[in-house]
Structure 1
Amino acid sequence: MDLLNDVVNARCSDPFKCLGVKPNAKGKGKTLTVWRPEARLIEVLKIDSDTLIGEMEETTLKGVFELPWPNTLETEHYRLRITYPDSSFTIVDPYQFPSTTFNDPEYHSATLYKKEGAIPASAEVTQELHIDGTRFGVYAPAARSVAVVGDFNGWDGRIHPMSSNGDGVWRLFIPDVKPGARYKFEIRAANGDILPHRTDPFAQYIEQFPSFASVVCKPNSYSWQDKQWTERPIEDTYETPMSIYEIHLGSWRKHMDGTSLSYTEHTQQLVDYVVEMGYTHVEMLPVMEHPFDGSWGYQPVGLFAPTSRYGTVDEFKALVDALHQAGVGVIMDWVPAHFPTDGHGLGNFDGSKQYEYPDPKKGWHTEWNSLIYDFGKEHVIDYLISNANFWLEEFHIDGLRVDAVASMLYLDYSRKDGEWVPNVDGGNQNYEAIAFLRRLNETVYLNHPRCFTIAEESTAFPGVSKPTYMNGLGFGFKWNMGWMNDSLEYISKDPIYRQYHQGELTFSMVYAYDEQFILPISHDEVVHGKGSMIAKMPGDAWQKFANLRAFTSYMYFHPGKKLNFMGNELAQGMEWSHERSLDWHLLDVDFHKGQQQLTKTLNHLYKDEPALHLDHSPSGFEWISLDDSANSILAFIRKAKGSCEHIIVVVNFTPTPQENYCIGTPMAGRYECIFNSDDEAYTGSNYPVAASYNTQNTPSHGRDQSLTLQVPPLAAVAFKWVE
C-alpha cells in the first residue's frame, strides 16, 4: 500500500512492484492493479481481441483499480478500455512489460544515445504478436521520481511513472507511442519539489519556443546516397587542400520577409554555390538545438537535435548528403565547453548538479553566463563523447570544430584571483577537461578514420594537435589565432607605417609547424563592433579593396588550411548580423564582384596546385625575402612534396608599384605568372606584369639565379616554375 500511495502522489521510484499483474497480498492468486487518475470505468480486454476479461473496481485509493487475475488465462498480457466522464479509449498498459523496459540495448560509451532518450522499440507478446511503442530512458540519479509526460497522456505527470534499478537511469516502455509523439520528463527532486518539465537530453528533434517539446524520431529513416564519399580512400588530411566556408545557416540567405532558408532550400542553393566557389568544406555554426537565436547556436539545449528552425532531421541529413555527393566535406561547430541555464535544459537537471560542476568557481562561466560541464563525472563524459560520435555516425559529419577549448583547459579562464579553484597540484590546468579532450579525440580517430577534429584554442597550450601518445590533446588541427591577430593588426595599418611592423607578418613562420594549423578569418572577426573585413582596410575605396585582395591572397599562399566566414568573399561593408541576410546585392558593384571572383580563383588555384598543399612541413615553404621592410614586400616559395615543382609568391603591401624588383630563385628556367590580385578581372589597376619571366645568371638573396619582376601596388603575384 505504501508503494501505491507513492504512485498516487507521483513519487514512486519502482511502479513495476505494484502495478500490472502481481501476486496478491494473501499469496493466493494474482491481482491486476492499474493507476488511472480521473477514470470512471476501466475494462480489461484480451491483448489480441476485444474479448472482455473483466471490469476493474476502484480501491479506497482514488484512481487505483484492481481486478483478480483469472488463473485460466495463459498470458498476463492485456489491454485496457478506459472511460472518462467525457471520453473513452483503449490502451496497452506499459506496466505489463518490465523486460522491455529494463532491457538496455547494446551500447558502449560512444553510443550512449542507444541506451537513453526515446527509442522506438517492440515488446514481444507471442512470436506472432509484437506491441510497438517507445522506450524512454533518462539519467537522473538524484531524483525521487521521474515520469514521462506528453501528448499521449495529456502532459499529466501522474500517469506514466518511470522506474529505476539503482543505476541512476529511469526507464519506461510505453506501447503505441510512435515517432512524432511529443514528450518531456517530469522530475520530482529529492526534496519533493516538482521541477520544470525537462527536454530529453538525447532528443533528436526539439520544437521551438514556447513548447521546447522533445519529439520521438524514427531511427535510420533516411536513405543515404553518399557511399562514394563515405567509402573514399583514406587520405592524409595534412597534405590535401582544405578551404573552409564558415556559414551560419540562419543568415546566409533570407527570404524577402526576413525568414531563413530551410535545410531543403540550402540544399538547392548552398551546394551549387560552394562548388562553384571552389571550397572543399563547409563549416556550420552550431546546428544543435538552441533556444536563443542571438547565441548563434553557441548556447545549445539539445546536443543531439539539429535545430528545427530550418526543418526536419531527414532534411538536414539530405543537406549533408548533397554536399558529400558534390565532393564537399561538412564540419560542424561543437560546444562541449558550456551550456545555458534554460529551465528545460540540463542545469540542475534532477534537482542536483548532475551535468555541471557544483562549485560555481568551476561550474559557472563568467564570460558567457552559462554552466560548465563537470568533466569529472563519467556520465557527463559519456554523454559528450557519445554526442560527438552520434554526429559522425548518424549524420555523416566529417569534422568537429570544438569551440572555446581554452576555456576548458584552464581553471582560471576569464577569472580573477580568488574566483577559481586550483587543481590538486596547485596549478590552473583542468586535468579532468584535458583527459576528456584526449579521450574524445582518441574515440573519434579510432572509430572514424576519415574524420577529424579542430580546436579553437587561443593560448600557447602545448601539443593541441599532437597525438595523445606524444602527450598531446589529439586534435587534428588548431586554429592559428596568433596568425589571425598579427596579420589583421598589420593589414589595418596605413601602408606608410607598415615598414615598422614587418615582423607581424613574418613571425607566424617561426611557429608555423608547432601545430597543424588552420588560418581562420571567422565570424568572430566581423561582429561585436570589429567591423567587416573591408572596413578594416585603410585608404580610399580602391585601396581598401586592393588591400583586401592582397590580404586574402597572402592568406591563401601562406602555409596552413584556410577558413573564411561567409560574406568575406563579398567584401561586405557592414559587419555580420544573424538577423539579416548577406548583402548579395553588392555583387552588382564591380569592386565586390571582383573580391568574389578573386576568392573563387584562389580556391581553385589552391586545390589545383600541389605546391600549395604541403602545410605541415618546413619542406613546403622557404623564404626568399622577409626583411624588405622599406618596401613592405614579402617573397617566398611554396614547394610540392617529392618533386621540384614550386611557386614563387611576391606580396606588395604598399600602393607603390615596383618596376624592376629583383628576387633570387631556387632554380633556373622560366616562371609563368599564374595569379595576380591586381588583375582587372578583380578590379585591380592592371599594372603591367609579364605572362612569364626567364631567370638570369645574376645572384640575389643568396641564390645563383634571379628574376626581375614588375610588382603591382597592394597586390600579390604568383609565378610557377616551368621545367
Structure 2
Amino acid sequence: MTTYTSKRDAQAIQNGVHSNPFSVLGLQEWEDQLVVRVFIPGACEVEVIHHETGALIEELERDDVAPDLFAKPIAGKKEWFAYKIRARVGDHVWIQEDPYRFGPVIGELDEYLLGEGTHQSLWKVLGAHVITHDGVEGTHFAVWAPNARRASVVGNWNNWDGRRHAMRPRGVTGVWEIFIPQVGEGQAYKYELLDRQGQLLPLKADPVGFGSEHAPRTASIVRKLDGHDWRDDEWMQGREQTTKIDKPISIYEVHLGSWRRVKDEGNRPLSYSELAEQLVPYVKDMGFTHVEMMPISEYPFDGSWGYQPVGLFAPTIRHGTLEEFRDMVEAFHAAGIGVLIDWVPGHFPEDPHGLARFDGTALYEHEDRREGFHPDWNTLVYNYGRREVSNFLSANALYWFNEHHIDGLRVDAVASMLYRDYSRKDGEWIPNKDGGRENYEAIDFLRNTNITSYREAPGIMTIAEESTAFPGVSAPTNHGGLGFGYKWNMGWMNDTLRYMSHEAVHRKYHHHDMTFGMHYAFSENYILPLSHDEVVHGKGSLLSRMPGYPADQFANLRAYFGFMWGHPGKKLLFMGGEFAQGEEWNHNESLDWHLLQYDFQRGVQSLVRDLNRVYREVPALHRNDSNPKGFEWIECHSAENSVFAWIRYGDEGDAPVLVVCNMTPVERQSYRLGVPKAGRWVEILNTDSSLYAGGGRGNLGAAETENIGSHERDVSLSLTLPPLSTLYFQLEQA
C-alpha cells in the first residue's frame, strides 16, 4: 500500500499528539499533487465527494502506519476546492464536512490585540461562536493555552475523542482555534489539552464559555450571543441619571437561589423567567432603585454562593439559559430598576475542570503559592501582572455591560487584591519590588478596568467591597484613586451593628460607635451595606441581633433602619432584612415569607417601603450623600440619653430634613433640639408609627419652632421622641 503521509506525521495524528494537525490533515500539497487526508477512527471506508452534488471524487486509502488515517491524491486537481467526506463504519454511512478544509477565523488584528493583551472584545474572539464560515454553518472554538503541546475540542459529536478535532495553533498568541461544521447551540464541549511534556490534562471547561451544564456536570455549552432583540433603549440611554452621586441609590441584594423557592416541586429555586415575574414587581413595589445579584457567573459549588466562579462569561444555568437571563434584566429595566451583579476577579477555585494549571502551567495564577493562593478561601489568585490575564478579566467586565446590559459591578474582596499580605503570616507572602505589601499589579488592573468600563459603557457604576483604609478607592484615577464609583462603608456597618447589639442601658458607653462614621463619611463615595455577610456564619439575622423582648427587637430594628436611611451614603439591604427575617439566612431554603402574616414583620416591610419612598422623593436625603455640605450635627454628644440628631441638606431651595434617633426604650417628652430655620417642621416619617406596628407615639404630624435658643441655634423644637425610634422632620416651605 502506498503512503501519502510521512511516518512521523501519521503516527502523531493517530496517537493524538500532533501539535499542528492543520499542516497534515485536509487538502494539502504532496509531491506536486493535492492530497486529501482524513482522520476518522473506526472507519472502514472514506470517500471524497463533490460538495454540492455528492458525486464521488476519490476513494481514500488507509495509511500504512496509522489505521484511522485515510489519504490519496486527487486526480486532476491542482487548486483548492470544496468537498465533503462520506464515511462508512459497518452498515452505517454518513456524510460530513471536513473541519480541516477550512481556513482560520481569527484575523490579524485580533491576533495582534490578543498577543498584546489589549483586546477589549476578547469574548468575541475566544470561546465558542455559532457562525457561518465559507458558507457552512458550525461553531468556531478558540482557547488560550500557550504552553499546551496540543489542544482539542471534545464533545458528544466526536465521542469525546481528543484526536478527532485537534486545533490550529495561532503562533505567539498562544491561542488555538478550529471551526467545526454542524456543531451548534446547545452542544456540550470541553477542551482536551496535552501539557509541554505531552501528558494528558483533566478536561477543561471553556474559560470564555457562555453556558455550562447543570452541576455536578462541568462541561461548557455552546450558546449564541447574537440575536437578542433588546427593547430597553430608553433605560440604557437614560441610566446615567440613576448612578450619579446626587441621585437616590437604594440597593436590594439578592441571592437568586433562595429568594423564593417552589416547595411543591422539590424545593427548586425560581427560574430567570419566574424571577422576572415575581422578583421584579417586588423590588419595584418596595421602592428600591437597584437590585444587586450575588455572583451569577457559573460556579461548581452551591455553598460558595457564586463567590468561587469557574465560568466568568456564563450566567449560571441554575435558573435558565443566557437568553432567559437577558429577558430578566430587560424586565428590571422596563420597571425602572438598575441591575448590578457581584463580580469576582480576586480569586478562583482549584476545581480540575477550571482555570487551575489550565495548560499544565500556572497560566492564570502565580506559580509561587505565596502569591497565588488564598488561605482564607483555599482558592487561587489571578496573576494580574500577566497582560493576557488582566485582559481576560477586564474584558469580562465589558462583556457583562455590553452583552447583558448590566448596569454595574460590585467587585468582591477588593482588599484581598490590594495587599500581598492579606490574611497571610510572615513568610507566607512576597513583598512588591519596593519591599512593601501593596499589590501594584492588582492596583493597576483595577484602575485600568475602571477607566475602560466607564469609557466604554456610559452610565454604569463600579462598587468596591473594600474594608481597609486604602486611600482614594472611589477617587478618579487621574487624582491617584482606583476609579470606583462607590465603596462599601464596612466601618460604618461594623460600628453601628455593634452599637445596636448592646442592651439599651449600656449604649451610652458606646455612643461613639454611632457617631464615629461621620469623621470619614465624605472621604469616599460610600454605600452603607447591610449585606448577606451580616446574616451568615452564626451571626444570626439582623432582627436576632437586636436586644430585648420581641417587641423591643422590632422597635430597635425599625429605629436602626431609620438611622441608616437618614445617614449620608447610598443604601444596600440584603433580602429578608426588609421584613425582619427571624432566622439566619440559609442558601438552600427560601426566605420565610410566611412571616408576613404577622403585624411586626409586615410593619418592618412597610417601613422599608416608606423609607425608600421618602429617600427618593426628598432631595435633602440623597442629593449630598457624598458631600459634607449636606450634613450638620445637631446633637451628637447626648450619650446619657442615647439621642442623635442631625440635619440633611439638599441643594439651594431644597427643604432641609431633621433626623432624630432615640436609642433607648424611654419616651422623651419635650426634648428640645435647635434647628437652623424657623417654621413648621413636618413629621414625614416615624418608625414608631402604628403603620409599622409601633406604639403610634409622636408629634401629631408636625412641630413649630420656638424662639428658644438651643444647640447654638436661635430657634428650637420641643419634640416627643418615642422609645427606640427614628423620626424625620422636613421644614415646610411656602
TM-score under structure 2 length normalisation: 0.96
AA in 1 matched with 2:48: V
Measure the CA separation in 2 of the matches of 1:293 and 1:218. 26
Measure the CA separation in 2 of the matches of 1:272 and 1:573. 24
Measure the CA separation in 1 of the matches of 2:79 and 2:493. 74
Q: Deviations over 1:82-132 (max 9, x none)?
A: 1113632111101111243667769752211111111122222xxxxx111
| Displacement after TM superposition at 1:643 (Å) | 2.2
Measure the CA separation in 2 of the matches of 1:98 and 1:105. 15
AA in 2 matched with 1:31: V
What are the residue-to-residue correspondences of 1:530-541 with 2, within 5 Å?
A: 530-541=539-550
Aligned to 1:95: 100
Rate the CA distance shift 1:102–1:696 in 2: closer, same or farther, 3 A: closer
Aligned to 1:296: 305
Is the counterpart of residue 617 in structure 1 residue 623 in structure 2?
Answer: no
Measure the CA separation in 2 of the matches of 1:409 and 1:683. 45
Question: Given the alignment, which residue of 394, 404, 412 partners 2:403?
Answer: 394
Aligned to 1:127: none
What are the residue-to-residue correspondences of 1:304-703 with 2, within 5 Å?
A: 304-613=313-622, 614-703=624-713
Question: Partner of 1:463: helix, strand, or coil?
Answer: coil
| Displacement after TM superposition at 1:277 (Å) | 0.4
Q: Deviations over 1:490-528 (max 9, x none)?
A: 000011111111111111011001000000000000000
What are the residue-to-residue correspondences of 1:51-66 with 2, within 5 Å?
A: 51-60=55-64, 61-66=66-71
| Displacement after TM superposition at 1:603 (Å) | 0.7
Is the counterpart of residue 133 in structure 1 residue 144 in structure 2?
Answer: no
Question: Partner of 1:98: helix, strand, or coil?
Answer: coil
Rate the CA distance shift 1:101–1:40 in 2: closer, same or farther, 3 A: farther
Rate the CA distance shift 1:74–1:359 in 2: closer, same or farther, 3 A: closer
Measure the CA separation in 2 of the matches of 1:233 and 1:309. 28
Q: Is the Cα contact below 8 Å between 1:284 and 1:332 reproduced in 2?
A: yes
Aligned to 1:121: 131
AA in 2 matched with 1:241: P
- Larger mean CA deviation between 284-293 and 151-160 belongs to 151-160
Question: Partner of 2:298: helix, strand, or coil?
Answer: coil
Aligned to 1:175: 181
Question: Partner of 1:535: helix, strand, or coil?
Answer: helix
- Larger mean CA deviation between 67-76 and 347-356 belongs to 67-76
Q: Is the Cα contact below 8 Å between 1:652 and 1:715 reproduced in 2?
A: yes
AA in 1 matched with 2:136: I
- Larger mean CA deviation between 93-102 and 447-456 belongs to 93-102
Question: Given the alignment, which residue of 116, 119, 127 partners 1:109?
Answer: 119
Rate the CA distance shift 1:188–1:589 in 2: closer, same or farther, 3 A: same
Is the counterpart of residue 33 in structure 1 residue 37 in structure 2?
Answer: yes
Aligned to 1:16: 22
| Displacement after TM superposition at 1:344 (Å) | 0.7
Aligned to 2:73: 68
What are the residue-to-residue correspondences of 1:153-302 with 2, within 5 Å?
A: 153-166=158-171, 167-232=173-238, 234-235=240-241, 237-256=244-263, 257-302=266-311
Q: Give the number of aligned pairs.
A: 716
- Larger mean CA deviation between 189-198 and 324-333 belongs to 189-198
| Displacement after TM superposition at 1:376 (Å) | 1.0
Measure the CA separation in 2 of the matches of 1:296 and 1:448. 27
Q: Which runs of 5+ in 1 are unaligned?
A: 125-129
Is the counterpart of residue 713 in structure 1 residue 713 in structure 2?
Answer: no
Q: Deviations over 1:24-54 (max 9, x none)?
A: 1xx3221111111211110111111211111
Q: Deviations over 1:52-85 (max 9, x none)?
A: 1111110112111112113257652210011113
Q: Is the Cα contact below 8 Å between 2:104 and 2:178 reproduced in 1?
A: no
- Larger mean CA deviation between 611-620 and 522-531 belongs to 611-620
Measure the CA separation in 2 of the matches of 1:64 and 1:458. 60
AA in 2 matched with 1:254: R
Measure the CA separation in 1 of the matches of 2:706 and 2:444. 57
Q: Is the Cα contact below 8 Å between 1:43 and 1:56 reproduced in 2?
A: yes
- Larger mean CA deviation between 700-709 and 1-10 belongs to 1-10
Measure the CA separation in 2 of the matches of 1:645 and 1:499. 32
| Displacement after TM superposition at 1:192 (Å) | 1.6
Q: Is the Cα contact below 8 Å between 1:221 and 1:314 reproduced in 2?
A: no
| Displacement after TM superposition at 1:233 (Å) | 6.3
- Larger mean CA deviation between 12-21 and 137-146 belongs to 12-21
Measure the CA separation in 2 of the matches of 1:73 and 1:90. 24
AA in 2 matched with 1:358: E
Measure the CA separation in 2 of the matches of 1:555 and 1:636. 13
Q: Is the Cα contact below 8 Å between 2:686 and 2:698 reproduced in 1?
A: no
Question: Given the alignment, which residue of 142, 149, 153 partners 2:154?
Answer: 149
- Larger mean CA deviation between 503-512 and 636-645 belongs to 636-645
Identity fraction in percent = 48
Q: Is the Cα contact below 8 Å between 1:690 and 1:710 reproduced in 2?
A: no
| Displacement after TM superposition at 1:383 (Å) | 0.5
Question: Partner of 1:219: helix, strand, or coil?
Answer: coil
Q: Deviations over 1:555-577 (max 9, x none)?
A: 00000000000000121111001
Measure the CA separation in 2 of the matches of 1:233 and 1:549. 31
Question: Partner of 1:82: helix, strand, or coil?
Answer: strand
Q: Deviations over 1:289-330 (max 9, x none)?
A: 011000000010100000001101010101100000000000
Measure the CA separation in 2 of the matches of 1:702 and 1:219. 63
Measure the CA separation in 2 of the matches of 1:688 and 1:185. 67
Question: Partner of 1:304: helix, strand, or coil?
Answer: strand
- Larger mean CA deviation between 407-416 and 43-52 belongs to 43-52
Q: Is the Cα contact below 8 Å between 2:106 and 2:125 reproduced in 1?
A: no
> What is the alpha-carbon root mean square deviation over aligned residues?
1.3
Q: Is the Cα contact below 8 Å between 1:104 and 1:115 reproduced in 2?
A: no
AA in 2 matched with 1:45: I
Question: Partner of 2:448: helix, strand, or coil?
Answer: helix
Q: Is the Cα contact below 8 Å between 2:27 and 2:80 reproduced in 1?
A: no
Aligned to 2:3: none
Measure the CA separation in 1 of the matches of 2:374 and 2:272. 32
Measure the CA separation in 2 of the matches of 1:289 and 1:508. 37
Measure the CA separation in 2 of the matches of 1:711 and 1:683. 16
AA in 2 matched with 1:70: A
Q: Deviations over 1:217-275 (max 9, x none)?
A: 12222211111100116336100000000000000000113110111110110011000
Q: Is the Cα contact below 8 Å between 1:109 and 1:385 reproduced in 2?
A: no
Question: Partner of 2:262: helix, strand, or coil?
Answer: coil
Q: Deviations over 1:380-407 (max 9, x none)?
A: 0010011110000000000000000000
Q: Is the Cα contact below 8 Å between 2:99 and 2:181 reproduced in 1?
A: yes
